[in-house]
Amino acid sequence: MKFLLTLLVLIFTWGHASAATYYVRTDGGTKSQCNGLNNAAYPGSGSAQNCAWHHPFDALPPQGDGATPALALHGGDTLMIGPGSYEMGLNAPGAKAYLACNQNWSWDCYMANIPSGTAAAPTRILGIGWNQGCKAPPQLWGSEHSAQVISMLGSSNVVLARPVLNVKAMRKAVTPQQEAAEETKLLKVEESVRIFVRVADPKFRQVVPMRFFNLTLTPAEADAYCADFLEEKSLRAGVARVLLRLVAVTARIITELEELKRAHNSPSLWKLHADSLITLLVLGDNAAENGNRVANLAGQRGHRQQVEEVQTSLKKLRDYSGIAERTLSGSEAKTAAAGD
């Protein structure tokens, strides 16, 4: 019994001792240039140097299209990622070396599944400085139809700090196809709200039940959903159309924020809803620009009440867009009550 206990202790200790900590930083080197075992920049020459890798792909190379490159990160290891922007997709550094990253099938161009750890020694993906507030968290983001940023399909005993997204870069990467898909959802929201407002008791029509929350409408917004003059080429029709658009975009942003919370334990779902939020931020910018234009026109014509009605709806959109942007970029945000 004594021998067995000693053996078990040795095995347990060996398991911990064999776990490695690897580093990634933007000034690191490729796998042939650096061993990834030191938080240091690539010196500029030589191979197998004691320095960090230059991209998470070096630790977890993309799998797919018949290729299964060996993983450098194993169960129980830790990957520390330094500050900076790390793109996942065809344009990532060194991506062309992987068969999974090609123009004909770019969806698989993302990091391999994180290998499972154990309860005692979980596999960890962390930002450098994670235990000191992580003041400059790394930004991991997908492009060129990359299906995911991080995958934990079938993984267990993994500690993962939620990746901070480069919202500015992702806004620029929004495609016409993404916008078209979101437009379809916006039309459905507008129609569902219209149906409710028109059939509801006038005393309660301003509180619209949505999937996760109640959407509170202003009197002007509720009136816009009942308007029968939307096809007119008039200022009142322009104001009403702007209000409908602002309500729909705001409602979709709130919905996706709620979906994002519920997808916390599913990286693939989280990324899906994050992408939807990015698209909505772009469409929200366009809606706000049009809303300001119509409000200015109303102001020029002396319709102060219409200006205030549009500005109230614009403020709600700005507030929830701000929450969405701070959530995606990793900043702390105070959650406002839905529809307020």
pLDDT digits 0-9 by tens, 258-272: 998 877 656 667 878
> Where a domain ends, among 164, 186, 205?
164
Range of the domain at 54: 19-164
Residue 197 lies in a domain: yes
Chain-centre distance of CA 90, in angstroms?
A: 19
Claim to verify: residue 183 and residue 302 sit in the same structural domain = yes
Res 138: pLDDT: 86
pTM over 0.75? The answer is no
Tokens of 68: 């299964």
C-beta separation of 113 from 121 below 8 A: no
> Where a domain ends, among 140, 164, 188?
164
Residue 278 lies in a domain: yes
Claim to verify: residue 143 and residue 202 sit in the same structural domain = no
Claim to verify: residue 183 and residue 324 sit in the same structural domain = yes
Claim to verify: residue 28 and residue 130 sit in the same structural domain = yes
- How many distinct structural domains can be found in the chain? 2
Residue 2 lies in a domain: no
Residue 336 lies in a domain: no
Residue 340 lies in a domain: no
Claim to verify: residue 194 and residue 155 sit in the same structural domain = no
Contacts of 272 (CB under 8 A, 6+ apart): 263
CA distances from 59 to 34, 152, 210 (A): 12, 15, 43
> pLDDT tens-digit profile of 250-308?
999 999 999 988 776 566 678 789 899 999 999 999 999 999 999 999 999 999 999 99
Claim to verify: residue 277 and residue 319 sit in the same structural domain = yes
Claim to verify: residue 235 and residue 147 sit in the same structural domain = no
Claim to verify: residue 123 and residue 185 sit in the same structural domain = no
Segments of the chain assigned E as strands: 21-29, 53, 78-81, 84-88, 123-127, 138-142, 158-160, 207-209, 214-216
> Where a domain ends, among 130, 164, 198?
164
Whether the predicted pLDDT of 45 surpasses 50? yes
Residue 130 lies in a domain: yes
Residue 134 lies in a domain: yes
Question: CA-CA distance, 88 to 66, in Å (whole number)?
Answer: 19
C-beta separation of 78 from 22 below 8 A: yes
Q: Is 296 left (phi over 0), alpha (psi -120 to 50) or beta?
A: alpha
Claim to verify: residue 155 and residue 182 sit in the same structural domain = no
Res 330: pLDDT: 64
Whether the predicted pLDDT of 65 surpasses 80? no
Res 4: pLDDT: 37
